[in-house]
Amino acid sequence: MPRSQRYLIQAAAVIGFFAIWKFYVEAFEVSTLVLPPPEEVFVALFGLFASGEIWPHLYVTLLECLGGFVFACIAGVTLGMLLGRNAMLDTIFKPFVIALQVTPKVALIPLFILWFGFGLESKVIVSAVLAFFPVFANTYLGARSVDRGLVELFEVGKATRDRRFTKLVLPSSLPYILTGMEMAIVLSIIGAVVAEFMAGSRGLGYLATIKLQELQVGSLFAVVIVLALIGFALYFLVGSLRRVLIPWHESARPATI
């Protein structure tokens, strides 16, 4: 399917979604305090940007989620590689990593606030903790999924450990790592917003809470749309890394079905 045709279909699907939303609100006479019509949300959205009210909050949320994402990627890739290629480290540290994952992250937010305060640092940490495990798990899987025949070939060729890592292990793991990063960027946004809900004085999560308290439901929905657009844009950017870093891999090519 041509790219232009795919874009048209996607645009038609979005328009259809808002048309159904409008029909539902009008047909069932839904209160604007429950679900405002789309045009009211778009007016509120334009007002947030035109007044400049949203810009400082948008900047803070982006800073928090991107900071958390970067930390999660560094820690996840490093630990995933170390544990995936070293049986002793895997035996020692993997139970702790799994324990961190199965612990409800919301329960940890008060601890992070206690340790790091109400500022930017605690929000970045929460974002990083939520985004860490997908990167770690996929890196770990990629490091353990290197083709055994290629490993033996490098050993026969007496390749150094560094060369085996840069020429075999890392390229073989990149598709897995990028998959983890695609999931992590979404979770980093969720982590930042949840932290702002609970203990924020700035950010889109805090702004959404204020709009809810003021019963400005149209503005609340507008903030949600902005968050969705941010998530879509960041997910698209991270996904685009496939065509740059692994153009040879099947996942970097357009779907044929």
Domain co-membership, 191 together with 225: yes
CA–CA distance, 103 with 105 (Å, rounded to integer): 6
Domain co-membership, 13 together with 74: no
CA 257, distance to chain mean position in Å, is 27
Residue 23, domain member (yes or no): yes
pLDDT for res 41: 94
Residue 111, domain member (yes or no): yes
Which residue range is the domain that position 211 belongs to? 36-252
Q: 31 — alpha (psi -120 to 50), left (phi > 0) or beta?
A: beta
The 8-class DSSP code of residue 201 comes to S
DSSP 3-state assignment of 204? helix
Average pLDDT for the chain: 88
Domain co-membership, 46 together with 141: yes
Verdict on whether the full-model pTM lies above 0.85: yes
Residue 221, domain member (yes or no): yes
Domain co-membership, 16 together with 40: no
pLDDT for res 81: 92
Domain co-membership, 138 together with 57: yes
Q: Do 204 and 45 form a contact (C-beta atoms < 8 A)? A: no
pLDDT for res 252: 64
For the chain, which residues score pLDDT lower than 50? Answer: none
Residue 19, domain member (yes or no): yes
Domain co-membership, 6 together with 66: no
pLDDT for res 1: 66
CA–CA distance, 156 with 166 (Å, rounded to integer): 17
Domain count, the chain: 2
pLDDT for res 40: 93
The 8-class DSSP code of residue 157 comes to T
pLDDT for res 200: 73
pLDDT for res 32: 86
